[in-house]
Structure 1
Amino acid sequence: MHIRDLPHADPGVPDVRSGGRLLRWLYRKQLGGQTKALCWGLVHTGGVASFPVPVGIAVQAVVDRSGSRLLLAGGLLLLLGVLVAVGDVMLHRAAITNWITSVARLQQLLARKTTELGSTMTRRVAAGEVVAVSTGDLEKIGWFVEAVSRFGAAALTSVGVCAALVVYQPVLGVVVAVGVPVLALAVLPLLPPATRRADEQRDKAGRATELASDTVAGLRVLRGIGGEELFLGRYRSASQDVRRAAVRSARMWSMISAVQVVLPGLLLIAVVWYGAGLALDGRVGVGELVTVYSAVTFLLYPLRHFEEIAMAYSFSKPSAKRAARVLALSRPAEGRIAAGAGALGGDLYDPVTGLCAPSGRLTAVVCGDPDAAGRLADRLGGHPADAPDGTPSVLLGGTALDDVPRDAARTAVLVQDKDPVLLSGTLGELLDIPSSGSVRAEEALAAAQCGDVLTALAQGSADDSGDPMRTHITERGRSLSGGQRQRLALARSLVTDPEVLVLDEPTSAVDSHTEARIADGLRALRTGRTTVVLTSSPLLLDRAERVVFLCADQVAGVGTHRELLHTVPAYRAVVTRETEEDAGPVGASVAAPGASVGAPTASDGRFTRTDRIDKTRRIDQIEESA
């Protein structure tokens, strides 16, 4: 696998039963690259390990005054130097390639999982956790994957050097062969506390990242309530916790590094002291002592790889565990009905609530519980990933959405959340999405009342062309107001033109006049298509062909907006934000001809939901004009 071949054609199916299994799966997927890196690592470390041989020959040649042996030693040193240089370069290339390709594989897997789960991912895993896994955790996993080959080469070379020393000089070789494993294993008792401290640091960093992302996402709200300093103080506190945890972790790893310096130094002193005594007694030659000393000095080099692999594994294992936990999230990907069995269509029916949205009509749904609307939207878009076992699936034309492939279900039913996200790019790219082709972008923008948005974008065109379609929209549409983002998201949904379109509070951030025009445009553009709008806005409800009122997750009333106002006090209480006692008995509050439905009277002095929404919309208008 080469970097130029990225992205992977198929990242594969990971083993997510544990973090260790995920790391082993990654290693197996890169077996060819790891083998190549190991071979080049053996060339490099083997060349370094062989330097004591020509050095010993050279020293002994000087003692014996042998010019030919000195020349031989010089030639060997030159050859080994070339091997070490080539091996080091190629090892670095192969190891970094393993790092990049493994991280790219995991990134593709995470992207695929995000696409599979959709909005349910952030309901099951915190957004900060996802960010931490896709950045810092992947880097640590890649570090371990990259370090494995270097460690393998260092370990094999160390075993070979110890064996060679035992054969070359048994007395000193045995001392080295016993001492090196002791040095390599000496740090093992320190690894568990070091791992715990590193994991604590990562958890605190994840919480700080989550707090930062939440603060940025709600910055406009924080400014509105004057909460910037409060949240800034919280983030300062969280970042200081991360700093203290990082210092504690660094202290432990510095102790491990100190042990890796002190113990090999003691071994080197012991070998030199013992070897010097043997040389004075005439039991070993000076060249042999120099060779053994040089070999022991070399062994300090692979010991650093032992420390690195221990640190990399300690950091990567919890990171791999978290990545495996995210990748293990699942929802049904394929149904029991084969793809291509026929286009989905017909009435949309939810067995949980009893809601039925007739085919080809605009149905508005009012929920007594605001949270119930979000749960209903998830169900209407397909069986949610976090639904309890045994929860029946939504039916479209009598066919359960769970029984069709996920892609087919998403093509048939499109759900727009109450807080839709706009990706960065130009407006043309935003609207260039898979669609039926029946609705042009201009028609969708007009129906969503985006005229003023297009004017504002044309004025801010980066290339001075005045074409709003070529104007760049920043990440999540932060350069736009809430109402502008909402209308562009609605236009994007209308361009898709699905068989069933589910909108959750699509006009909560626009003013009343714009909302009325959007309702008219939506009804006209979606003629003959099934549309479900979850809302409590009287303007949208009054234009719906059919209104369904849900109370306690069950259908409590069906009819037109005005019929339900007159016949269902609980519905009137939800829409007008009155209590049922204020609403009076059924039929007691009939609107006067020409009066606005749900509008407050001058005599009762109450402020209904419409008043509060109008006030909010006036504030939003002020923000848009600013």
Structure 2
Amino acid sequence: MQIQDLPYPDPGVPDARSGPRFLWWLFRNQLGGQVRSLAWGLVHFLSVSALPFCVGYAVQAVVDRSGTRLALAGGLLALACAGNAIGDTFLHRAAITNWITAAARVQQLLARKAATLGSALTRRVAAGEVVAVSTGDVEKIGWFVEAVSRFTAAALTILFVCVGLVVYQPSLGVVVAVGLPVLALAVLPLLPRATRRADFQREKAGRATELASDTVAGLRVLRGIGGEELFLDRYRSASQEVRHAAVRSARMWSLISAIQVLLPGLLLIAVVWHGVGLAREGRISVGELVTVYSSVMVMTYPLRHFEEIAMAYSFSRPSARRAARVLSLRRATSEDGSQAGTAPKGDLYDPATGLLAPTGRFTAVVCGDPDAAGRLAERLGGHPSSTEEEPSVLLGGVPLDELPLSAARTAVLVQDKDPVLLSGTLRELLDVPASGDVDAREALTAAQCEDVLAALVQGSLGAEDPLDARITERGRSLSGGQRQRLALARSLFTDPEVLVLDEPTSAVDSHTEARVAEGVRELRAGRTTVVFTSSPLLLDRADRVVLVHEGEVVAVGVHRDLVHKEPRYRAVVTRETEPEPEEPHDLQELEELEEIEETA
């Protein structure tokens, strides 16, 4: 896989049982790139390692006054330099390719999982954690995956050099062969502590990201209640914790780096001290001493990859664990969108609550608990929570959980109470899978978006067609009611067999709400529509109204009848409260009440 071939046609099915298993799965799925990186890494590192031998051979040729051997040393030196340059160039290309392709695979997997779970994802995993996994964690995972092949090339090079030095000059080669592995393994006792500190830093950074994401998402509400300073103080505190954790982690890594510099220096001193003694005794030549000394100096370069792989693993392990946690989430409905399946038609029925939405009818659902209403709306769309054990919702007698994901989503569309508008033009916003029976203009008109279109055109310079007007990120330039109506228009344009709307007009004024109710009723004639609401304007236009109380249907009828006959329905819709009995204000009143009770 090359960068120009991205995205992957199919990123595969990941092994998300744990972070290390996920990293190993990523490594196995790009073996071709890893082999190329390993091969070019060996060319690069072995060319670098050959330089000391060429230099030592040239020095000895000068000492022996041999022009032929000097010329040969020069040719070998040029060949090693060429191999170094070519190997380094293509190693960098292969490493970057492995990094980007691994990161792209993880991003595709996360995007597919987000599309599969829908709004259920942020109920199971915090939105900030999803953002952290999709951005910084993806880079760290890609870093470790590509660093493995470079580390392997460096380790093999050190092994070859140690064997070569022992064969070339046993007296000094043994010292180097013993010293280099000690240098490579000297930092191992420090790695567990460094890894724990890195994990702690990642955890603190993830919490700070979650807090920032939640604060930005609710900024308008915070400003309305004057809570900006409170959340700002919380974020300051969280960011300071991240800073302290990063400093502690950096201290440990700086200690590891210092050891990686100190120990090679001590090895060089030992080699020079021992080599000078051997040279004075005539047991080795000057060229051999220069070769061994230069080899030790050059070996500090591949040795740095031992520190890098340790750092890459310690930073990527918590990132891989978080990614595996997200990718391990499952939806009860089959996740294989490629399966063949036709969306059934018929009544929508929830066995858990007894809620029935007849086909082709406009059904309104009243639920006193907004959170319970949201969960029920998601259930109707085939998105039960991971802890639920209730039977699946039935569509035309067929359980939604048994349908392929594509068929389930074609059949039932759920618009939650806080729909998201992505940045782009209005035409791009409406570029969604649709039946083709509803025109975009009809959907916008039914949702009463005339003033929204005018505001978008006014805010977009040079946009004559309202569909070409640009929408800012999450529609922040629009009011809450305008965003709601645009989202409603998008849902109406999709024209699914069953449309479930959760409080679609909660931020709209009463006059506009009445027109929206009439527009939705007319446009959805003959289609199944379920609206969760407590608005009398919507309830009055519904074909049937269902009251859900404490998780089960307790009343069914039309709005005007239920208001008069059902006290629980009236309490939710009209916001009425039962009058509280007056408390006795003093001891005398209490005694009089007791006497009356005794007489009775």
TM-score by length of 2: 0.95
The structure 2 residue matched to 1:561, chosen from 550, 559, 562, is: 559
Distance 1:333 1:365, change over 3 A: closer
Residue in structure 1 matched with residue 161 of structure 2 by the alignment: 161
Residue in structure 2 matched with residue 91 of structure 1 by the alignment: 91
CA contact (8 A) 1:383 1:394 kept: no
CA contact (8 A) 2:116 2:335 kept: no
Q: Distance in 2 between matches of 1:293 and 1:44?
A: 20
Residue in structure 2 matched with residue 432 of structure 1 by the alignment: 431
Residue in structure 1 matched with residue 587 of structure 2 by the alignment: none
Q: Distance in 1 between matches of 2:335 and 2:311?
A: 44
Residue in structure 2 matched with residue 226 of structure 1 by the alignment: 226
Q: Please state whether the residue corresponding to 1:384 is helix, strand or coil.
A: coil
Equivalent residues in 2 for 1:317-356, closer than 5 Å: 317-334=317-334, 342-356=342-356
Give the drift of 1:321. 1.3
Distance 1:545 1:209, change over 3 A: same
Residue in structure 1 matched with residue 504 of structure 2 by the alignment: 506
Residue in structure 2 matched with residue 152 of structure 1 by the alignment: 152
Give the drift of 1:388. 2.3
Q: Distance in 1 between matches of 2:544 and 2:324?
A: 46
Q: Distance in 2 between matches of 1:317 and 1:217?
A: 29
Q: Runs of 4 or more off by more than 6 Å in structure 1? A: 335-338
Give the drift of 1:17. 1.3
The structure 2 residue matched to 1:526, chosen from 514, 524, 527, is: 524
Residue in structure 2 matched with residue 70 of structure 1 by the alignment: 70
Residue in structure 2 matched with residue 264 of structure 1 by the alignment: 264
Q: Please state whether the residue corresponding to 1:114 is helix, strand or coil.
A: helix
Q: Please state whether the residue corresponding to 2:516 is helix, strand or coil.
A: helix
Q: Which amino acid aligns with 1:465?
A: A
Q: Please state whether the residue corresponding to 1:558 is helix, strand or coil.
A: strand
Give the drift of 1:465. 3.5
Q: Which amino acid aligns with 1:406?
A: L
Equivalent residues in 2 for 1:387-426, closer than 5 Å: 387-389=387-389, 391-426=390-425
CA contact (8 A) 1:166 1:177 kept: yes
Distance 1:213 1:335, change over 3 A: closer
Q: Distance in 1 between matches of 2:488 and 2:149?
A: 52
Q: Please state whether the residue corresponding to 2:508 is helix, strand or coil.
A: coil
Q: Distance in 2 between matches of 1:333 and 1:52?
A: 63
1:216-272 Cα offsets, whole Å, 9 max, x none, are: 111111111222222222211211111111111100000000010111111111111
1:334-354 Cα offsets, whole Å, 9 max, x none, are: 399996565411111110110
Residue in structure 2 matched with residue 3 of structure 1 by the alignment: 3
Residue in structure 1 matched with residue 585 of structure 2 by the alignment: none
Q: Please state whether the residue corresponding to 1:557 is helix, strand or coil.
A: strand
Q: Does 1:572 align with 2:570?
A: yes
Which ranges of structure 2 fall in alignment gaps of 5 or more residues?
581-600
CA contact (8 A) 1:335 1:402 kept: no
Q: Please state whether the residue corresponding to 2:366 is helix, strand or coil.
A: strand
Q: Does 1:310 align with 2:296?
A: no
Residue in structure 1 matched with residue 483 of structure 2 by the alignment: 485
Give the drift of 1:368. 2.1
Distance 1:341 1:267, change over 3 A: closer
CA contact (8 A) 1:335 1:404 kept: no
Distance 1:115 1:65, change over 3 A: same
CA contact (8 A) 1:106 1:138 kept: yes
CA contact (8 A) 1:425 1:472 kept: yes
Q: Please state whether the residue corresponding to 2:460 is helix, strand or coil.
A: coil
Q: Distance in 2 between matches of 1:473 and 1:388?
A: 37
How many residues are aligned here?
580
1:153-186 Cα offsets, whole Å, 9 max, x none, are: 1111110000011111112111111111111111
The structure 1 residue matched to 2:537, chosen from 530, 539, 543, is: 539
Q: Please state whether the residue corresponding to 2:14 is helix, strand or coil.
A: coil
Residue in structure 2 matched with residue 613 of structure 1 by the alignment: none
Q: Which amino acid aligns with 1:185?
A: L
1:599-620 Cα offsets, whole Å, 9 max, x none, are: xxxxxxxxxxxxxxxxxxxxxx
Equivalent residues in 2 for 1:97-108, closer than 5 Å: 97-108=97-108
Q: Does 1:494 align with 2:492?
A: yes
Q: Distance in 2 between matches of 1:527 and 1:26?
A: 50
Q: Please state whether the residue corresponding to 1:543 is helix, strand or coil.
A: coil
1:275-314 Cα offsets, whole Å, 9 max, x none, are: 1111111111111111111111122111111111111111
CA contact (8 A) 2:365 2:530 kept: yes
Which ranges of structure 1 fall in alignment gaps of 5 or more residues?
583-626
Q: Please state whether the residue corresponding to 2:118 is helix, strand or coil.
A: helix
Q: CA RMSD in A?
A: 1.5
Identity, % of aligned pairs? 75
Q: Distance in 2 between matches of 1:73 and 1:326?
A: 57
CA contact (8 A) 1:570 1:580 kept: no
CA contact (8 A) 2:337 2:405 kept: no
1:13-33 Cα offsets, whole Å, 9 max, x none, are: 111111111111111111011
CA contact (8 A) 2:202 2:318 kept: no
Give the drift of 1:54. 1.5
The structure 2 residue matched to 1:551, chosen from 537, 549, 552, is: 549
Q: Which amino acid aligns with 1:305?
A: H
Give the drift of 1:461. 2.3
TM-score by length of 1: 0.91
Residue in structure 1 matched with residue 181 of structure 2 by the alignment: 181
Residue in structure 1 matched with residue 15 of structure 2 by the alignment: 15
Give the drift of 1:332. 3.3
CA contact (8 A) 1:335 1:403 kept: no
Give the drift of 1:466. 2.5
1:44-77 Cα offsets, whole Å, 9 max, x none, are: 1111101111111111111111121111111111
1:532-554 Cα offsets, whole Å, 9 max, x none, are: 10000111111111001111111
CA contact (8 A) 1:368 1:551 kept: yes
Residue in structure 2 matched with residue 58 of structure 1 by the alignment: 58
CA contact (8 A) 1:116 1:333 kept: no
